Amino acid sequence: MAKDCIQEKENYTIQTNQDGSTITVRELQLAILDIMDEIHRICVKNKIEYGLIAGSALGCVNYKGFIPWDDDIDICVLKKDWDRFLKALEEELDPKFYFQCFENDKKFNVINGPQMKIRKRGTYIEEVNWLLKNRCKTGNGIFVDVVIYDNIAEKKWKDEVARTVIKLTVPFLVLFDNLHLPHTFLKRFVRWFSNRYARKHENSPLISQPISVPWEKFLHEPVFLKEDVLPFKPYEFEGRTYYSYNNIEKILKQWYGPNCLKKWDGEKWVETLPVQKRVPKHTAHLNLKGETKNNK
């Protein structure tokens, strides 16, 4: 009887060091799992809902774990649980990890995608990111990205109008950040406006990342019915149990297209993504044995 996931897992090289040694995507994935295990422990203990999203959710369905070339994990936490999540991290997070967000460091970039990064000490990662760099002084350890899921307007034009307001602040945020000029007031405005918008549409049947990440809907349309997202359900992931979307296959097809899921070739489940696109995308430099760029 065939297993219900893709079994072939090629080992991808993510970095070749100056001494000729290599670091594989799999080595990074296993290190990231340490962070994810701690997040799962804290969320379950404190009854905080979370879910694997994006490529991490796709890996759940296709591989029952990481996509072999995926070099990160993305999760969401509901806005209603955000304050409790912060409190739980502050009080219970194992000291070998740390987290960065606007609430504990005003240098954190509020429009860069995730609303939080939970990092591992004793490691270093430099992301592929030309727009905004990590300005937090606490470190650049490998991480799990945490995004907020919140209410989105039911009518698209209302959502686009609100996102346009945020988009107009982006050039100033980027300019001030790269010139190292004070811009906390702009970040506060983005957060205030985003929260106000979500509360105004709290009865909408739609959910997504907050409009503080203004390009999300414009680029990918990752706006979902709440009934497809919630309640989060348990799934197997690398021999563990993590949570993800309620209607996971429907959401993945909506996000990545109808052909994103594994296919049966008559003998086994196979990957549908073209070989030339199977590459890690997020890592510019990596050190799993120290907190500096130098791998020696």
Query: What pTM, to 2 d.p., does this model score?
Result: 0.94
Q: Is residue 21 classed exposed, middle or buried when 0-12, 13-18 and 19+ CB atoms within 10 A define those classes?
A: exposed
Q: What is the pLDDT of residues 135-167, one digit of tens each?
A: 999 999 999 999 999 999 999 899 999 999 999
Q: Is residue 244 classed exposed, middle or buried when 0-12, 13-18 and 19+ CB atoms within 10 A define those classes?
A: buried
Q: What is the pLDDT of residues 164-202, one digit of tens each?
A: 999 999 999 989 998 999 999 999 999 999 999 999 999
Question: In the predicted model, is pLDDT for residue 10 greater than 90?
Answer: no
| Cβ atoms of 120 and 34 closer than 8 Å | yes
The whole-number pLDDT of residue 2 equals 53
Distance CA 60, CA 31 (A): 18
pLDDT, average across residues 50-60: 96
As a whole-number percent, the residues of the chain with pLDDT over 70 amount to 96
Q: Name the band, by pLDDT with cuts 50, 70 and 90, for residue 221.
A: low
pLDDT, average across residues 5-12: 87
Distance CA 146, CA 155 (A): 26
Q: Which domains does the chain have, with CATH numbers?
A: 13-150+208-287 (3.30.460)
